[in-house]
Amino acid sequence: MRRTRDLTSEQPTTANSASDGAAPEGRMPSGKSMQEGRMPEKHALDGVTSDGHSVMSDGTLAATENPTCASGKKGPSRAKELGARILVFTVQAFAVWQAVALLLLAFVPDFVYDVARVLNVTNIPSYPTLLSFFLLTFLSLGLLRRQRAALWLSVAMWQISVIVTLAVATVLSHINSGSSERFRPHGWHYLVSVAFALFVVASAFWMRSAFPARLAPGALRRACLVIVLGFATSAGFAFFALETAGFGRLPFHHAVNWSISVALGLPSDQRPFRSPIEGPYWVETASGVISVATLVLAIAVFLRAAPQNAQRDYDDELAVRRLLVVGGSADSLGYFATRDDRRTVFSPDGKAALSFRVVFGVCLAAGDPIGDRQSWPQAIAKWLEHARSYGWVPGVISASEDGARAYRAQGLRAIVLGDEAVIDVASFRLGSPELRAVRKAIAGPTNAGYRVQVRRQSEIPADELAELVEIADVWRRGGPERGFSMASGRIGDPRDGRTVIVTAHTAEGHVCGLLSFVPWGRRDVSLDLMRRSPAAVSGVTELMVTQLIANADRLGITQISLNFAMFRESFARGERIGASPLEKLNRKVLVFASRWWQLHSLYQSNEKYLPQWRPRLLCYGSTAQLTQVLIAVGQAEGFVPELPRTFQRRSRASQLNLPETAAKLAEAVRKQEEELFTPTVPERRLSEQQRIRREKLARLIDAGIDPYPASVPRSHALSDVRDDSGAVSVVGRVVRVRDHGGVLFADLREGGVELQVMFTADRPEAGLALWRETVDPGDLVSVAGTACRSRSGELSVHAESWSMAAKCLTPPPDKHRGLRDAEVRVRQRHMDLALGGEARRRLLARSAAVRAIRGRLAEHGFVEVETPMLNRIHGGANARPFSTHINAYDLDLTLRIAPELYLKRLCVGGFEKIFEIGKNFRNEGADSTHNPEFTALEAYEAHGDYTTMRRLAEDLIRTAAWAVHGKAVAPAPGGGVVSLDGEWPVVSVHAAVSRAVGADVTPDTPADELQRLCRERGIRYAASMTAGDLVSELYEELVEGSTTAPTFYTDFPVETSPLTRRHRDDPRLAERWDLVAFGMELGTAYTELTDPVDQRQRLTEQSLRAAAGDPEAMEVDEEFLSALEFGMPPTGGLGLGIDRIAMFLLGASIRETLAFPFVRPEARPAR
């Protein structure tokens, strides 16, 4: 099957082309090998395919009543298909009976004859003879291939002959009505056999459509020729044997008549070849054997399947290559559908195709269908119909799991062959410990000065490419080429310009290794050919593979398909610790067999790259056909020899191999790929308004006006224009136009301010006509004119000229109604802001609040700092992080969930008052109060504690409220406002929970009592939760959501606060508070834990939770702990959610306070 010999020993292999009828060439099955480590899959159940065909349990394809086949013809009904299967089974059963009876005849002849006498009522030969056995065997094969000639031949020989005999006998009986020899039926069995014959003849005529397979052209002529020559040979042998046996003195015509009668099996004493000679018995026997062999051979020739030229059509070649690119081939073997010895069938819609080759009477497909998966069933059905119309047995080699499912849906069965090794470039790390064997292998050629070139075939000069083709053939060392399913059968062909050629060169520049990889879809590659010089240093193949991976980014490669490992799973299971004795025995047997076939070595040579193993399967029609399919696979892959060329059918050379056709096709392929790989701009679907605006855009350009200039006149902002401003130039977005004929009014908006401009007929130089033709609401325009008042007294600019600042191509919503749908407002945030409504006011208010908080902290002497966003260890809070990877250092990183640990290290470094306002990221749920990406303030003050931080929090939030509202208030959810003046309530967590549950809850309350309180209120909890965890759950469910006015809840259980100092009065509690208002947490503060021993213990407990599967638990950060060990002063720490403060002060959801909240991607319309 694929393409190489042992990678470990690095013996030369390849995949060059083979002519029709020769053993196919390419990758060998010991390369991409077959696996028998798994049991065959369960047979496909009866069902109905997508094109109306019934899938039978034995793997044959029937059809429902009046189905339409892939070709458009009506197929057989389910009943006819069932009748055909019964007929095939019956003839097969009689062939088996003949074989068994021949063996039993010498031991229990009476039993054999009794059974044969009963079976004889079917008119099928039941008495055991070699002639009957061979006759039934060949006819059963013909019926199994659904050849109509086999149907009629069997009916004619066994059933119609009985009816004709009865008819003739009846006529003769009437003629000789007075004779004593009048015909009389001999018992009931004769009547039954006649009735059976009539039934079978009628049934055969009725179900003839279930036998569509045609014969080879000239089959009857060749069969007649075989009969004539064979019987002539038999008669000639009898004649000359008679002469040598001492009968030479008899009359010549008597000897001839006797020889002919013996050859034909007729009595020599009856006409038409009457002879008085009684020849030797051995001559009669030998002549009879020759005649029997002649008859058997004639039937075999007559029923031989129709031939198929392995010739690809020019247009088919281009169509297949187009599907490989456009169809997004997910199969690494897809490109091998372009082999020159394969034919292709297409689905009726042309969106999928399947390639095949006829080998040993098997229509052998390889890999998955190519093209659109939705059209796979139609392509497979067309292929099956095509195979059965020629009497071929369907078979598939090296199908992927997805492909095997598609084949099974069409009635085939599947068994696992082995696994394909695929390297994922993104996850391949040559420096990892697991790839030590690869690094060791490439050390040899690297130290020897070998260098590797990785190029597309189209980049290689013609003379160098010709040299590579030549040395690839030389390094093959005359061995047979192998491969069909996983080899292209060619190298250096001008059609394969996208093939990647990897060459290894010695220090002197001589080529010593060669790999070729065919395209796999648009980006990836699949191994085709592998060669190395016998003089090359060991490890050159590994060096070429690793260099290909190193160049993968440059070539746009993401996956590399390597070899196929036969029995891979059996090897893997046998190597596992705890493998069963049977699994170990299987492995030992396979290792022993590897002395002659490359099984274990290929598995090892691929496993060293740590690839992804992807199963490959063999698909076949029925169990009776499996042996034939396996022989065909062996012949196709080059492991089972075919008949000598003398006995093979002649096949015309492919027209694609003719020089003039090949050159023309190569150019067509080049142009097609250039077209397919040239990025095309998809055509957008535009609304009528969008089309009209683009037409106006074109008019502006035609008029010599730049619709998107670098600058436009602007002397005043709209808000600065006054009655006495005189000549002004203003810029704004057109939000409304009122055209009264002689005068036109337009409202411009800028920064939430609107100003009217007017065009009058007495100023034609103002460009009113062009305005009417090209300006729409939403356009940004610059208007120059004089400030004045309109007749209605509205401040206006009397236009003298105008220019386009930016043509709006998307119609804005109505000025007064705006964007009403909340989802549309979020997705079209820019438009919502441009309309100058509530969204703009909230954004400005948020900005004012943040600016005020930052300024207030500066007044208190805090220094603003910035800490890293990318963290190697996630910490600072209990939350699920976002993960990413940095290629430069090959490290997995997380986006920070909090800057706390870095800020504390700055405190250790001597910064007494610091703060940071920045983004944090938590990979958790999103709702009206949570966003995965959020802005937070963290501030730390040396020699402070959670009490001083509480006062600072109050001060900052009041300052923000003054910046937003001009006073210390916040809008209440139900209407009105809440005053933020005065001291805010401070309540301990246990007191708040006690009030909520109506029972006394203290740090002494046991866990089982807290569990009971949770159960009574329907609060879910885990059995492993501590008392502190349960208190926290009760707080979050019962207290936090019901809080209205800003309240500080203090003194949380210590186990819920791993970075907080224990309470100075009760070590079971932590000096921490949460600020809650209107049912949401606004911030939190700690008296920071500065004890490095206690901190290490708590982080270790957190890491144990993480190891147990808690995705939110923190990890041990040794750098942070090392800083604490250096000594950190007593410190108070504060964290406030900037988004939450904006929500609190504006009475809005989190999405409404963000400039661009995250939204799910919108489904793109069809283009």
d(CA 369, CA 377): 9
Of 429, 422, 423, 424, the C-alpha closest to 887 is: 429
Secondary structure of residue 921 in the 3-state scheme: strand
Alpha-carbon span 866 to 469, nearest angstrom: 60
Q: Which residues pair with 1050 in a beta bridge?
A: 988, 1073
Is the peptide bond between 272 and the residue preceding it cis, with omega within 30 degrees of 0? yes
Contact 14, 529 (CB under 8 A): yes
Q: How far is CA 1002 from CA 353, 422, 794, 999, in A?
A: 74, 60, 69, 10
* Cα dihedral across residues 918, 920, 926, 928: positive or negative: negative
Nearest in space to 1167 (alpha carbons), one of 810, 681, 683: 683
Q: At what angle do helices 989-997 and 1027-1034 cross, to 10 degrees?
A: 60
Q: What is the distance between the terminal CA atoms of the chain, rounded to a whole angstrom? A: 42
How many whole angstroms separate alpha carbon 661 and alpha carbon 816? Answer: 69
Q: What is the DSSP string of 1050-1094?
A: EEEEGGG-TTBPBPSS-TTEEEEEEEEETTEEEEEEEEB---HHH
Instruction: Give the burial string for 680-709 (b: 16+ CB within 10 Å, else e).
Output: eeeeeeeeeeeeebeebbeebeeeeeebee
* Distance in angstroms (rounded) separating the CA atoms of residues 258 and 278: 8
Asked if residue 1074 belongs to a known ligand binding site, the reply is yes
Q: HSE-up of 215 (CA within 13 Å, CB side)?
A: 19
**Which residues partner with 2 through β-bridges?**
27, 28
- In this structure, what are the phi and psi dihedrals at residue 167, rounded to the nearest 5 degrees? -65, -45
CA torsion sign for 643, 644, 649, 655 is positive
Asked if residues 299 and 272 have their Cβ atoms less than 8 Å apart, the reply is no
The response to whether 762 counts as a known ligand-binding position is no
* Core vs surface per residue 38-57: b (16+ CB within 10 A) or e: beeeebbeeeebebbbbbbe
Q: With the C-alpha atoms ordered 660, 661, 666, 667, is the resulting torsion angle positive or negative?
A: positive
Edge-first strand order for the sheet with 53-55 is 47-48, 53-55, 61-63
Amino acid type, 1083: G
Q: At 755, list the tokens.
A: 């100003």
CA dist., res. 600 & res. 1043, Å (int): 69
Tokens matching residue 900: 């706390």
Q: What residue numbers does the annotated binding site for Mg(2+) cover? A: 1074, 1081
Binding-site residue set: 1074, 1081
